[in-house]
């Protein structure tokens, strides 16, 4: 409950209970600002610090994202995203950055879940994630950071499309 509150997903009212916070588009864009910087840092660190076993896991994750992109299996992609972010935090070995990332991940995931069927491109999202995981597997910090920038660019365009800016995607 505290984690949901920390992520801005619920609001607790003493002696009354909790309520789900409405979606705030400004908050969504602020989350993407943080995500661009912090996830880029995590990807760079993971590409530099990952063990051989972790690199093999990232390669497997990248290939799975590619496979799910072709099948457009949204549930499998979302499950794999959770696995990817967990491994990213472990491989990057930076608990401070991971905590910052976790603070906005819920906001981003909720927004995606509510709007991807109408406005999202599940294939583009999966391929963007595959690119991040692949760059980490290849031990290429610069490519990993660029892949995150590409991913966040897509998420920002998706968000603009949701709010009615048709040039967003």
pLDDT tens digits for range 101-131:
998 888 888 888 888 899 999 999 999 999 9
- The two three-digit tokens of residue 11, written as one number: 């609001």
Domain assignment present for 15 = no
**142 part of a folded domain:** yes
18 within some domain = no
Domains in the chain, number? 1
Asked if residue 12 is part of any domain, the answer here is: no
Q: What is the CATH number of the domain that holds 85?
A: 1.20.120.530
Say how far apart CA 127 and CA 103 lie, in whole Å: 24
Please say whether the beta carbons of 129 and 137 come within 8 A: no
Q: Which helix (H) or strand (E) holds 28?
A: helix 25-49
**For position 2, what pLDDT does the model report?**
57
The Cα–Cα gap between 52 and 70 comes to 28
The pLDDT of residue 114 is 86
- Is 162 a member of any domain? yes
Question: Confidence class of residue 165 from pLDDT cuts 50, 70 and 90?
Answer: confident
Query: Residue 59, Cβ neighbours under 10 Å: how many?
Result: 15
| CA of residue 161 relative to chain centroid, distance | 18
- Is 111 part of a structural domain of the chain? yes
Categorize the per-residue pLDDT at 169 as very low, low, confident or very high, splitting at 50, 70 and 90.
Answer: very low
Asked, for residue 112, whether it belongs to a domain, the answer is yes
**β-sheet bridge partners, residue 19:** 11
* Higher per-residue confidence, 92 vs 2: 92
* The predicted structure's pLDDT at residue 67: 97
20 inside domain: no
Q: Average pLDDT in the 129-137 region? A: 99
Query: Which structural domain range is residue 160 located in?
Result: 28-168
For residue range 13-42, what is the model confidence (pLDDT) as tens digits? 666 666 565 567 888 889 999 999 999 999
Q: Which residues of 66-105 are buried (b: 16+ CB within 10 A; e: fewer)?
A: bebbeeebbeebbebbeebbebbbebbebeebbebbebbb
């Amino acid at each position: 409950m505290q984690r949901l509150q920390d992520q801005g997903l619920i609001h607790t009212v003493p002696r009354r209970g909790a309520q789900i916070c409405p979606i705030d588009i400004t908050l969504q864009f602020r989350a993407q600002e943080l995500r661009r910087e912090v996830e880029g840092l995590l990807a760079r660190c993971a590409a530099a610090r990952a063990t051989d076993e972790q690199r093999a896991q990232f390669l497997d994750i990248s290939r799975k994202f590619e496979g799910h992109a072709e099948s457009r299996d949204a549930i499998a992609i979302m499950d794999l995203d959770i696995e990817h972010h967990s491994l990213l935090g472990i491989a990057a070995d930076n608990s401070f950055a991971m905590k910052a990332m976790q603070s906005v991940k819920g906001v981003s995931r909720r927004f995606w879940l509510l709007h991807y069927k109408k406005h999202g491109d599940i294939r583009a999202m999966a391929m963007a994630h595959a690119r991040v995981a692949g760059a980490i597997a290849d031990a290429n910090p610069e490519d990993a950071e660029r892949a995150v920038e590409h991913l966040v660019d897509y998420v920002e365009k998706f968000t603009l499309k949701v709010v009615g800016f048709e040039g967003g995607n």
